[in-house]
Each structure stands twice: as structure tokens, then as C-alpha cells.
Structure 1
Amino acid sequence: MRNTLRVLAYCTIALCLAGYVAFLALDASFPFPDRALRADPAVMIRARDGTPMRIFLPEDGRRRFPLALQDVSQVFQKVIIASEDRYFRYHPGVNPFSILRAALQNLQADGVVSGGSTITMQLARLAEPKSRSIKGKIVEAYRALQLEYGLSKDEILKLYLNNTPYGGNVVGVGAAAYTYFGKSAGALSLGEAALLAVLPRSPQAYDPIAHPKAAQAARDRLLDTLEERGVFPPDRVALAKVQPLPTRLTPPPMIAPHASRMAYEQLRRSALARSPKLSVWDVTTTIDPAFQNQALTAMRRRLTSLRLAGLENAAVVVLDRKTREIRALVGTHDFFDTARHGPINAALAMRSPGSTLKPFLYGLAFDEGIAVPESMVLDIPTDYSGYVATNYDDRYRGPVTVRQALVHSLNAPAVRMLAKAGLPRFHRLLRRGGLELRYGPGHYGLPLALGACESSLVQLTTLYAALADEGVWQSARLLADQSDPLEINRKGTSIQNDGSVRLLSRESAYLVRSILEEVPRRDLPTAWAMTLDAPEVAWKTGTSFGHRDAWAIGFSAHYVVGVWTGNLDGRAAKGISGARHAGPLLFDVLRAAEEPGAPLPMPDNLALDTVEVCTEDRELPNPFTPRTMAITVIAGRTKLKRSTLHQRIFVNPDTELRVEGRCLATIKAEPRVVRTPPEELIAWELSRGIPVQTAPPLSPECSAVPATGGPAIVSPSATTPYVLRSDAPDEFQRIPLVARTDGGDSNLYWFQDGALVAQGGVAENLFLAARKGEHRIVVQDSQGRSDSLTFIVE
């Protein structure tokens, strides 16, 4: 007997081992098909306070919000286990007693009324659907054993809860809780849990919206069963039964749709760079719903006036000044207005930024030491290899300060400053500040000072945040996860450990800011600082080439706001300007976001100093400088030259002629101080008929310096009209510009009707395009001598 038992024991062990080896072989040959259980989730984009903003579905169109088990309410877990598989925690994936009970029930009913499947078997069927045949059940049981072999009970339950179908495109309890109740699965009540437990049994028949009576009856039957089994007490079940069913599905959220799309695309780029599958589905952004609504409301209030000006759309970006978090982003006035390109995110559209780049050019000049806000710069036409910058109003003002040039956004001084500061330096600064300049400096040339490139509103607003933050640039942030800033071009940039880049010194940023505070505001009278509830703002506007885009960027104590207005199809709108069409919306948003009367923060310990300079040219005074003034400079950076504007000469008091050289010893002379402005300024002033004080002519008695006359115009002719021929190309009808000189001057400046039309050496071949009408031509040499005449083109 003992030997028989021993043999039976050995046989049993051998059979178990053989079965185990066979199972391992089958498991290796037919691995569990878990791909369907790990499909890509839908992505929920939320505002910073948790408000749902938008849902993005995966390629299969299913709404899945996979959850960890601890994020599903314990009530729902108890309901599912008690109703679907009471012995889930104990069986190996297949419960033979349940299968036997189901078989007897089906025989008695003469049909299929019970399946006997465990939770694990149901999960296996979801992964690999099979017919409800005996063969199908065998495969299902085998797959269930595979699951139990490879996963823990909690892992199986989590996969089951996340893959249960709830009708339509809703998959998993996370999506079901949001779709039917507008809440998370962790907040489900007993009544809600019971409804979601019966819904997968027949999603159409138990649809609480289409068939509320059937759904309530099924829910209540399950609640009765749970009470009978002692899972929940009677009083709690009674309370669950009176809970109303949902009467409508939670509508898909649509807040900040453009910002939501940005967050989704950023998530996909960053997540898929780490893993081939998207695992994160619940994403919190930095968007503030209140700010978003304020910006959208302000934009829509301005739409009527914008459209009267031919501008169909606008975009707004609001950044937190310190953190660079995007608090609001309105891509267009209406996402669903396809006729006006509403789905396009104008905040990311690459457009010409116009004059918005000028503050950074002057900031660079301050740091290079070649200018300060009170430096003088010439606002006159200047020819740079055929390029002559013109101002917005087609007027020139002569000598102006850098402060005046920036406040009034003058183009000619900006181009002159870029030529002095260096195009490669400015190009590099803009790239370090996140602008996507795809070509080298030579491609853009000096027009880069006026916005001859492309930038987006997000990039420009982020760039201005550097001015607001004492010259330090950081990338804008849209995801609450601080490790994922927006991807902005930083090629060739030295980035600090915190991701920051110093673009300008603290002193330069402050000086630029102080100028931008003086730009006249569209929301207030001239004395805006006396308005108690108005926050302090530094701002700048821009209008793109061809009048296609109007910009306004500004910052207050806590926020940086960027506004773009224009047409997304690229149509021009004649007469638009950033000040008139983007500025009002900028101040609407800033006043809604900022605290009333909030002052701009004053940086401390700035390395600023004051020096005495010549009042007229703002250089260090020489012994003959008549008047001086104090200006602010950056200590250790600003490099001022000695003024040459006022020079001492000697004049014969009897003849009022200049005396120089050896004749000073033989001719009576007395010292006088005269102004010697730059030759190009003299030429421009004379062309405008402005009286110019120049040094008196040299006395003919002085042989040391030859006395010569000024230039004399040879062509054009004042006596012979020029006739344009219709049968000849324009390039063959140009008028030569020729002047007779003494041969000692290196440059001549030609002005027609007050505008610079040519400049060059005496020997250069210069020509003038012929235009019908009567014209005044002026030629000026470097000594201030000139000649002029009037000619006619018929």
C-alpha cells in the first residue's frame, strides 16, 4: 500500500512537472497578445487649476484614460469584484466552480444565460476576442492562465478596469467616469459605481441617456445583490438607489483650443522621444482659465474696429514675467471660424516682426558701449550700397537722441545704429533670444533692424520677457512640468543650468525699459502716470513690411503680453499700425491681468554713472564746447569720444575770411569757435533749405592751403528739359549726375527734392531715375559747399 501511494505521488509530481513544462513551452510559443490592452490613451489637457480644456483621441478614436489602481475608488473596485468575480483574489485565472455553475444554468435555461468567466478570462477575451464556443473557452482559459502566471492580481485588475468597454468610443473606468459623470474614477459614489458595473454588460440596452429606466433597473438589481451578499449595508444601498442617473454626457471641453494643441504636440514630442508609446494622458498646463477668458473677451470686443481696418484676426499671449509660464494663449478669435482660418494658431505663425526688434538693437549698442539713451544719432537718409531706410511717416528729423529714436520708432537711426553695432552681433543676439533666423546675417542685411525676418508671437513675447527680467532670457513654458519648456531655437547659445541665457546686461535692459516706459500709451492721456489705477507698462509696437501685421508687446510688474493683429492669408491692410490696431488690445489685456497701479520693479545695485558731455553731440566736451549736460552711462562699458563739433579757427576780422597755415604770421587774425557738423548732416540740411553755419572761406592770401570753390553741377541741366520716351526702357533713360570740383574732395551727396538719391566719389558714375515734373537737385561736398538748380522732366 505504501509503495502504491509513493508511486502515485511520483506520478502526480511527474504529471505536474510535465504540465508545467508544457505550459512554459506553450507560453513561449504562443505569448500573450497584450498589445490590445496597452493601446495609446486619449490625452486630457487641463488648465493649471485642473479644469479640462481639451481631449485628443488616439488614432483608433477611442477615449481611454488609463489609471493606476490607487486612482480608482475602492467602492468601484469592491463593486466590480463582488459582481463579476467574487473569488478573483483566490483562483488561478480559471474558476472551475463558476464554469460548472454556468453550465448548469445554461442547461436549465436551454440557452446561454451565464458565461462563468472570471475577471482574468474576460480580460483575456478583451485582448484576443474569440467566439463563445467550447474551443473559444479553452483558448480563453489558457490565456487567463498566462495572465495569472505573468502578472499580479492588482496588475490584472488594473488592466481590466482600464479596458472594459462602456459603449461608443468609451473604454475603461477613467473615461467612463468622466464621460457619464464629469468626474474622476477616484470620486465615484456607490450608485455611480453600480451603474458603471452593469453598463458593459449591455452598453446599448443600459445606456442611461437613451434608456434610463432599463439602466436604473439594472443598477438597482446589482445593488440588491450587493446588499444580499453583505458587501454594503442596507442604508448605504438605499441611498445609492435614489441617486439620479446622468441625463446627458459630459460635453467635450474646448477651452484654449490652440494652447491645448500646443501642449499636446509638445507632450508627444517629449514623451515619444523617450518611448515609442505615449504613456502620459493627463497633462496639466500653465494656462489660467480666468486670464484666458479675459484675453478672449478683450479680443472679441476689439474685433469690430479691427475688421473696419481690414484686419480679420488677432492673437494674444500672456506670460508670467518671472517663471515664463504661459498664462493665456488665444490663437484666433474663434477656433471654429474656418472662413477666417480660425483653427490656425496665429500665436505660432511666422511673420515679419517689424519694429519690435529695435529695443534689442539699442540694448546691444548700450552693452557695446557705443551709445546710451541720450546719445545723438542722425535721422537722415543714408545710402548703404543702394539701401536707404525711410521712416514710417516718410519724414526725417535730423539729429535725435537714441531715446527719441526708439520712442518714435524711427527707422533711419536704427539702420545707422545696426551698421555701427555690427550685423553679426545683432543676428547672434536674436538667435540667442529664441528667434528662428534660418539664414546667416548676410541674408537679412541691415533691414534686420526693421524686422526683415520672421518670428512668432510666442517667440517675440518670450524675447520681451528678457527685458522685463533684467536681460535674462528663458524659454516659455506651457506644461506645468518644469522639465519640459517649449522648444525654441537656441543654436549656438550658452545656456545656464537653469536654462537661462543672458542677452543683455542688467544696466542695458533697464535703460531700454526706461525708454519703452515713455512710449505714448493708447489707453491713457499723456500724463498717464497720474492715473492711480493704471499699471506701469513698458511697451513697443511694430508694423511688418507690406502692412500685413501689426504688433504690440509690453510688460508690467508681473506679466508680459504680446498682441498680433492681421490676416492669416497674408493680405495687406493699408494704413495699419501696431500703435493703433494692436496697442489698444494690449492694454485691455494688461489692465485686466495686472494689479491696479502696480509699478514696474526697480532693479538695485545697477552699475550706472553720470558724466558731463557736450549738449549738442553728447560726446565728451573739448576745450571749446560752449554748453554741457549730465547724462547716464554704464560704468565700465560706455565709451565716449572727445567732441569735435566745436573747433577753434582763426579769422581776419577785416575780411571775415579764414586764416590758416603760415599766413597766420603775416595776416591779422583772431580766434573764433565754429560748429563743424558731420558732412552728411550738412548736405541733408542744405538740401532741405535749412540754414547751416559753416566755417568761413579760406583767405586767398593764404598760400599754404589752396582756396577752391565748391562743386558746380554739370548734369542735370537747368536749361534743357528732359523728355521721357514711351518706346525706351526706363534703365536707358537715367540722367547722369556730374559735378565739376577741384578734385580734392572724396565724396559728393546728391539730393532730389530733399531726398538722398545718390552719394559717391567724384570719379564714380552716378545716375538718377527720371521722373516727370519739376525737380530741385542739390549736390554737397564734405566741406559743406554746395550747388543747386531746378530741372524739368517732360
Structure 2
Amino acid sequence: MNKIPKAFLISDLICIVLLLTFLFSLPSKLFKTPTSFVIEASNGKLLSAAIASDGQWRFPVADSVPVKFKDCIIAFEDKRFYNHFGVDILAMSRAMRQNWRAKSVVSGGSTLTMQVIRLSRKQDRTVWQKLLEVILALRLELKYSKAEILGLYAANAPFGSNVVGLEAASWRYYGRDAKTLSWGEMATLAVLPNSPSLVHPGKNSTRLIKKRNDLLDKLAQLHYIDQATANLSKLEPVPGKPMPLPQNAPHLLNRFKTERVSLKINSTRITSTLDENIQLKINTILKRYNNRYRANDINNISALVLDARTGHVVSYVGNIYQPENADLQSHVDMIKAPRSPGSTLKPLLYASMMNDGFILPHTLIPDIPTQIAGYSPQNYDLGYDGAIAADKALSRSLNIPAVKMLQQYKYERFYDKLKKLGIGTLNQPADHYGLSLILGGSEVTMWDLANTYMGMVRTLNHFNTYKGLYNPDDYKPATYFQNESKDEKDEQRNSFLDHGSIWVTFNAMEEVMRPGDEGLWEQFSSSQRVAWKTGTSFGFRDAWAVGLTPNYVVCVWVGNADGEGRPGLVGIEAAAPVLFDIFRLLPNGKWFETPTTKLKKLKICKQSGYKAGEYCTNVVEELVPVSGEKTMVCPYHKLVHLDKTGTYRVTDQCESVTNMQHKSWFILPPAMEYYYKIKNSDYKNLPPFKEGCNPSGGNSVMEVIYPKNNAIVYIPLELDGTRGKIVINAAHRNSSSKIYWHIDNEYVATTTNFHQLAISPPPGKHTLTLVDENGERLVQVFTVLDKEKKGGR
């Protein structure tokens, strides 16, 4: 076998090395310069953009290049672009001849492909670099299509000042998308990369116009356009002062900047899910209200709209963007900011108690003066109803019934439920919040709040989709960018909240009084049905409104980013009108379907709202969540024994059983009764006992309204420095009865009809004893603090 000559081996090796060098000469990523962050609406229109980290306006490479720019740049720079492999030998030969004759560089001969290489390398223009550009241009043509090469050029060519790329130039010089530019405008931009210094307001316009007009004539000669179009295009003005880019979603842009890495999005451009039309209109609405509220030093307002059908963000206005006034803190994204939620969590408690079988929709809840371990909630109107149906307490947003409900449900259980539903700002243990959790004693973000309600909407919407089962993905947060991936559905038998409880809750939320020019009104001016809730935080720092339909969830916040409270900053007055203006923009649709298989007809006591017992006289059938079967029977209807005339109560000690009447009677505890009968004139007091009857057991005839048993109270000093007093309040079933008051077994006073007593006991533990004329006794204790107890509300 003949040996292969050594010279051939060396030459082969050299060829292989050269081939490998050629193949790997092109970097995997051609351009490593930073790009601007860009947010587009769902229709591809630009919403917001931010300058790149190197101070340049440079958009990421677009998916396509406008046809007009392709025609203009090819006619101007490289008319044989589609016919060469990166190097135009004819153009290069012509340039060499012209440069030789002129003894200087008067013509380049570079193709668009070679210019892409030069833009990516930014090296000095030497003969060696030119040769290297030729090699790399050939390699570029092997890796990229002609369309991709044009895209790289359009995205990275210099257009004067700090503007790089066609898209950025179009917005900076014409304030429009490049796809919408005319022939004259596109021809102007096409000549700029060749001489980017031509763009200076008030300077070089004559040279720029000449270059543009020459290109227009060339386009006519090459039959891209006719001469009439070219002549008309020459009449168009050239750019003047650069224009600011749109800032219609600046807070979402900043959010994208922060979250891009965690979202695993490589590009700095996203096509968002935002509806451009709705986003712009909501911006206008919020600006109008902001101008009005600024008169009261309320500086910030934000709104979030979610599409419950798709789980997409429709509109994201984190604040009214006013960068010219730094004091207003308009840069703060209030959609992400933790704030006190006021009463906006009350529907979640109502639904949770329904779901877990604690209450029915109309169950009576106590509404009386309340003190729990030093915590004394107050209703907004400072009044009391004695007892009120749970759904009415929700629609009127009463605080005391809400606290009473949470006391029954247990704040630890509600805390766990909120975390499961997606409230991610509960960073302290449940005991830190206590019962104040239901009145805004925690912090939430608008993002979490809106997504939690959207999860409920999606769960109810999907009742038929999943045949009565539940999908935990319904509570996944909304997405603000278009994502093609689809999650696998994982239907389950149980959910955080069942269909029936959600349906009942939304019906209760629909009854909320609506805002109007004259205060409160019941009829919303649109036929659209909306379930909604307002909230006002302690100290008038936050005004909230959240509303929902089967299609949309809308959340509005009004206040000051720095937390300053303002009089009149109330949810019903400041946030609710904005909410309904936004709903007027959104398409109408059908109301929620009734989840019949997750509801059950139950016999309900009409007066108490509890499950009907044997003594309930007015019984109605209602659709309630299936778990309603677990609720207790009506505790307020009892059998009482009356004499023949029905005037007096009797016992077998003073009346023969044969002479008795046995009647069902609606009886509330004394403290509830005291306030309830003021607002319910049809409430009937229990008849008094017949003389000579000695009742034993049964219902207590007296109750201390304040302070409750084992309460801890503090007596403040008056303005003159003297020690103040506490007012003890009691209720008696017989309004005309006398009560004899004793403190620490010493008689202090007698009251009739109106049972209140102002006293100033010394610090320490005290025993309060009440005795009525019939000898009925009530004994309880309370403690007076020497100093005011510090702590939460």
C-alpha cells in the first residue's frame, strides 16, 4: 500500500482547520448590546417602552420588517441583495475603482449582510477588517435567511442621536409604528443609517430632504412606486424634535422588568394580554377622577381588570403616571403594593362560613356593642341593629357582625383559608392579626385580591365544564403576557370554596347599595349585573372597590402611596364610582348559571334565617349550599306557656296545664332584643309572668351590653385632668322593670326603662351585680386598667 505524501496530509489538515474556522467564526449571538424593554398590547400596538441600559433606544429584533422599508433600504443600499451570497462582487469592484480614482473613500460597496457584520463588531474600518467582514458575511448567509438578515439590520442600524433600529426610529421621529409609515417617511428613515448625523432639529434638513428625494426617484425608477407617488412623497416634512415614546402601561413595563428572569422570557419585548382600547380608556377615566381627588390631597389611583374566562389581564394601571411631579409618587405600582384591605375580605368569610356549614344566607348575626379581649369594633354608622341577616350584614358592610362571624368561624381557620385562596401578604402568624383580620387588620395587594375573586368566578363558571368537579388551577394568578402553553387539567372533588357557596356569596354581593350623585341608590344605570364590595381602611388611608361578573373582575384602589389618610377617602364614595365607570366599558353578558346540583332545598325559618325547628311558625324553602344541612336549628323560636287570656306567662306552679295556651315565640337574647326591636316594630316582647308564678331556668331576662363578662376596660382622663367614667349599659326584657345596681356587693343605683349607669371604679377587678324587682340576678366581673393597654385595633 502506497503511503500518502506528507504534503497532502498537511494541506488536508489546513483545509479542515480553515473550514472549521469558517464554520465557527460566527458567534452564536451576533448582537450582545442591551435592548429596550417593550410592552405591546394584545393587538401588537406599542403601550410602553423604556430606554436600554446603555442609554440607547434599541428595540429587540422584530418578527418581520415592513415591506416599504425592505424596498427602500434595498434600493438605497444593496439592490442585488436577493441575488448575492453576502458579497456583491460587482458593487465592490465598482467601489474600488471609484476610490482609486478619487484617491479617497467615496464608495463603500458593502452589502446589507456585510453591514450587519460591521454593526455587530464595531471595529475600525481597515483593509483587514473589510476582508474579515467578507468572510463573516458569507458565513452569515449560510446561517440566516435573507428575511432574518434584513431583520437584524433593521433592528441594529443607527438612526441618529441615541436611536438604534427602525422601530425605535419610527416612534422617536414620527410617533407611530413603522408599519404605518408612508413612502416619504420610510424613505427618510432608510437614508439615515448611511448618514445618521443628518437628524438634528433645525439643521441638515436640506441635505436630508435631498437624500430622501433622490431615493424616492430611485424607487420610481426601479418600479417600486410610480413617479406620482414619489412626487407627492417629496412634499412630506422631515422629522423635527424627537418625540417621547408612549407610556400607557409604565407600571406593567416595570413589573415585566422585575419578573422577566423568573418568568423565563428571553426577550425584553412581550406581547401582553392587555386590550389597547380598554387600557387607554381606563387611563383617561382614572386621570379624570385623579384631577378631582387631587383637590382633597388624594394623589394616587389604580385599577386592574382581569378576564375571568381566559385568566388574562385586560388592563393594568398601577397609578396615574406623572413623572414630572415626584412628590406624587406616581411611579409606585399600587397593584403590587401591600395595603390594608378594609372590608374587601368580608365576602370571603361569608363564603367560607357557608362552605363549612356555619351559617345559611340569611342567618341572624348579633349586632350589638362588642368588646373581645380589649378589642371593640364599631360599625361605620356607629349604630346597632341588634341582629341582622348575614347577607344584609355583608351588603351593608357592618363591622360588628363580621367580627362576630369571624369569632364563630375562628380567625385561625380563616387565616389558613386566605392563604390557600392566594393572599400572599400574610407574613405574620394568625395570632398577630386576630379578629381585626376581617376589618383590614392585615395587608393585601390589589393583585392578590383581584386574583382571589377571579378564582371564585372561574370556579363557578366551570361548574358545567368539569361536570361539578373543581380545578385548582382556577386560582392560579392571571397572566399579563401571551403564552401558548396550556396546563393539564386536574379535576378534584373538593375545592377551597364550593360552587353553591360562591353562587350564594355573589348574589349577596349584588345587593350592595350603589354610589350615585345623590349618595346611595339601588339601581345601577346599566342593565349589567355586578357583584361588588367596597372597603375603607382604618384612618381613611385606602378606598377600595372590587366588582365581578361571569366575564370580568375589576379592582380599584384610591389613596396616597405614602399612606397619608384623608377625610372622605371612603370606598363607596371614592372607589365605587370609578369601578362602575370601568364596567360601562366592558361587554355585557349573562349572569352566573345556578349550580343546581351543589344546592339543596332546605326549610328555613324566615325570621331567623336558621334551619327551621319544630317551633318555627313561618317556614320557607330556599336553595342553600349542601353544607347548610350541617347548620344548627333555629335557637330563637321557643315554646312559651301562657294563661287562658294569652296575657301572662305561666308555669305549672301557678296555672293548671289544662288552662294554658302553648305558643311559639321568637325570642332574642336581651342585648340583641334591646336594639332589634328599635328597628323592627313587629317584634313582640315576651309577656310578663303572672303574679305568683316563680319561673326557674329558661331565658335570662337581663343582659349586660357593656362591659361584657371578664372585659378589660380603661378609664381615660378628662380634659381638666380629672378621672373619667365608664358607662355601663344593660337590657331587660320588661322595659318597665327596675334594675338595682351593685358594684363589689355595694348598692350604687336604681334604673327604670333606660338602664345605663356612669361610674368611675378604681383600677382592679370588680364584680357587677344586677337584681330586678322579681329577684332575678345577673353577676359578672370586669377589670379596670391603671394604664391604657397598648396594642392593635
Aligned AA (1:504): L
1:711, 1:780 within 8 Å by CA — same for their partners in 2? no
Whole-Å separation in 2 of the counterparts to 1:323 and 1:284: 13
**Residue 569 of structure 1 aligns with which residue?**
562
The one-letter code matched in structure 2 to 1:785 is R
Alignment of 1:725-764 (within 5 A): 739=744
2:246 alignment counterpart? 254
Partner of 1:218: 211
Alpha-carbon offset, residue 358 of structure 1: 0.8
- Looking at structure 1, the residues matched to 20 and 520 of structure 2 have their Cα atoms a distance apart, in angstroms, of 87
Name the aligned partner's letter for residue 540 of structure 2: H
Structure 1 residue 475, shift from structure 2 partner: 4.7
Counterpart check, 1:20 vs 2:15: yes
Amino acid at match of 1:766: K
Matches within 5 A, 1:162-311: 162-181=155-174, 194-205=187-198, 210-222=203-215, 235=227, 238=230, 242=234, 244-248=236-240, 251-261=243-253, 264-265=256-257, 268-269=260-261, 273=264, 278-279=266-267, 281-289=269-277, 291-303=278-290, 306-307=293-294, 309-311=296-298
| Distance in 1 (alpha carbons) for counterparts of 2:232 and 2:387 | 83
Name the residue aligned to 2:59: 65
Cα distance per residue 1:651-693 (max 9 Å; x no partner): 9999989757xx79999995765869576737977999x9974
Task: Name the stretch that deviates more: 107-116 or 293-302.
Answer: 293-302
Alpha-carbon distance change, 372 to 310 in structure 1, aligned in 2, over 3 angstroms: farther
Residues 359 and 610 of structure 2 are in contact (CA less than 8 Å); yes or no, is this contact kept in structure 1?
no
Counterpart in the other structure of 1:715: none
Cα distance, 1:414 vs structure 2: 1.1
Residue matched to 2:384: 396
How far does the alpha carbon of each residue in 1:149-173 deviate from its partner, in whole angstroms, 9 at most, with x for none? 7656665554334322221222233
Counterpart check, 1:43 vs 2:31: no
Q: Is structure 2 residue 315 aligned with structure 1 residue 315?
A: no
Structure 1 residue corresponding to 2:124, chosen from 131, 144, 159: 131
Alpha-carbon distance between aligned partners in 2 of 1:659 and 1:182, rounded to the nearest angstrom: 91
For the residues of structure 1 that align with 2:703 and 2:201, how far apart are their CA atoms? 97
The answer to whether structure 1 residue 515 and structure 2 residue 508 are counterparts is yes
Alignment partners' CA distance in 2, 1:499 and 1:710: 50
Amino acid at match of 2:765: L
- Cα offset for 1:372? 1.5
Cα displacement string for residues 516-549 of structure 1 (whole angstroms, at most 9, x for unaligned residues): 2222222288996777755333322111122211
| Distance (Å, rounded) in 2 between the aligned partners of 1:37 and 1:467 | 46
Counterpart of 1:442 (choices 424, 427, 431) is 431
Q: 1:416 to 1:18 in 2, by over 3 A?
A: same
Question: Does the 8 Å CA contact 1:391/1:410 hold for their aligned counterparts?
Answer: yes
**What are the superposed Cα offsets for residues 296-343 of structure 1, whole Å, 9 maximum, x if unpaired?**
443344446534555333222333343343333333344334222122
1:435 partner amino acid = I
Q: Is 1:681 matched with 2:680?
A: no
CA 1:92 to 1:665, structure 2 compared with 1: closer, same or farther past 3 Å? closer
CA distance in 2, matches of 1:710, 1:206: 89
Note if contact 2:298-2:559 (Cα within 8 Å) is conserved in structure 1: yes
Matched positions, count:
727
Q: Which string of whole-angstrom CA distances, capped at 9 and with x for unpartnered residues, describes residues 745-781 of structure 1?
A: xxxxxx99589999xxxxxx7359xxxxxxxx87589
Displacement, 1:347? 2.8
> Which amino acid in structure 1 is aligned with residue 286 of structure 2?
M
**Alpha-carbon contact 1:550-1:576 (below 8 Å) kept:** yes
The equivalent of 1:637 in structure 2 is 628
The secondary structure found in structure 1 opposite 2:260 is helix
Give the Cα separation in 1 of the matches to 2:759 and 2:347: 27
Q: Distance in 1 between matches of 2:716 and 2:252?
A: 64
Distance 1:163 1:328, change over 3 A: closer
Compare CA radii of gyration and give the structure with the larger one. 1
Map of 1:397-416 to 2, 5 A cutoff? 397-416=385-404
Within-5 A mapping of 1:774-785:
779=770, 785=777
In structure 2, relative to structure 1, the CA distance for the partners of 1:161 and 1:656 (3 Å cut) is closer
1:111 match: 104
Choose which of 378, 388, 407 in structure 1 pairs with 2:366. Answer: 378
Aligned sequence identity (%): 28
1:600-659: CA deviations, max 9, x gaps? 455363644444444544445555555545555334533343444454577999998975
**TM-score of the two chains, using structure 1 as the length reference:** 0.75
Is the 8 Å Cα contact of residues 381 and 756 (structure 1) preserved in structure 2? no
Please say if residues 368 and 675 of structure 2, whose CA atoms lie closer than 8 Å, have aligned partners that are also in contact: no
Query: How far apart in 1 are the matches of 2:651 and 2:397?
Result: 44
The residue identity in structure 1 corresponding to 2:52 is P
Mapped contact 2:504–2:624 kept (Cα < 8 A): no
Farther-moved stretch of structure 1 (258-267 vs 549-558): 258-267
Which shows bigger deviation, 190-199 or 47-56?
190-199
Tell me by how many angstroms 1:109 deviates: 1.6
CA distance in 2, matches of 1:56, 1:617: 60
CA contact (8 A) 1:646 1:676 kept: yes
Q: Structure 1 pair 372/24, CA: closer, same or farther in 2 (3 Å)?
A: same
Distance 1:767 1:463, change over 3 A: farther
Distance 2:517 2:701 in 1: 56
2:444 is aligned with what amino acid?
S
Q: 1:152 to 1:398 in 2, by over 3 A?
A: closer
Q: Could you tell me which amino acid in structure 1 is paired with residue 624 of structure 2?
A: V
Aligned letter for 1:363? A
Q: Secondary structure at the match of 1:256?
A: coil
Q: CA deviation at 1:407?
A: 2.1
Aligned to 1:603: 594
Q: Which residue of 2 aligns with 1:479?
A: 480
- Cα-Cα RMSD: 5.3
Which amino acid in 1 is paired with 2:576?
G
Task: Tell me, in whole angstroms, the C-alpha distance in 1 between the residues paired with 2:776 and 2:284.
Answer: 59
- Decide whether aligned partners of structure 1 residues 284 and 469 sit closer, same or farther in structure 2, where only a CA change above 3 A counts: closer
* 1:201 match: secondary structure: coil
Distance 1:457 1:413 in 2: 25
| Cα distance between partner residues in 1 of 2:361 and 2:253 | 42
> Is the 8 Å Cα contact of residues 676 and 695 (structure 1) preserved in structure 2?
no
- Aligned counterparts of 2:558 and 2:352: Cα–Cα separation in 1: 28
Alpha-carbon deviation of 1:570? Answer: 0.8
Q: Partner letter of residue 482 of structure 2?
A: D
Structure 1: how far apart are the matches of 2:259 and 2:112?
33
Could you tell me whether the CA contact under 8 Å between 1:334 and 1:342 is conserved in 2?
Answer: yes
Per-residue CA deviation, residues 538-574 of structure 1 (Å, 9 max, x unaligned), is 3221111222111122235644332222111111224
Distance 1:624 1:161 in 2: 83
Amino acid in the other structure paired with 1:23: L
Change (3 A) 1:421 1:142: same
Distance 1:255 1:476 in 2: 25
User: Would the aligned equivalents of 1:374 and 1:403 in 2 still touch at CA under 8 Å?
Assistant: yes
Is the Cα–Cα contact under 8 Å of residues 224 and 237 in structure 1 kept in the other structure? Answer: no
CA shift, 1:354, in A, is 0.8
Local SS of the residue matching 2:302: strand
Name the CA distance, whole Å, in 2 between partners of 1:137 and 1:182: 37
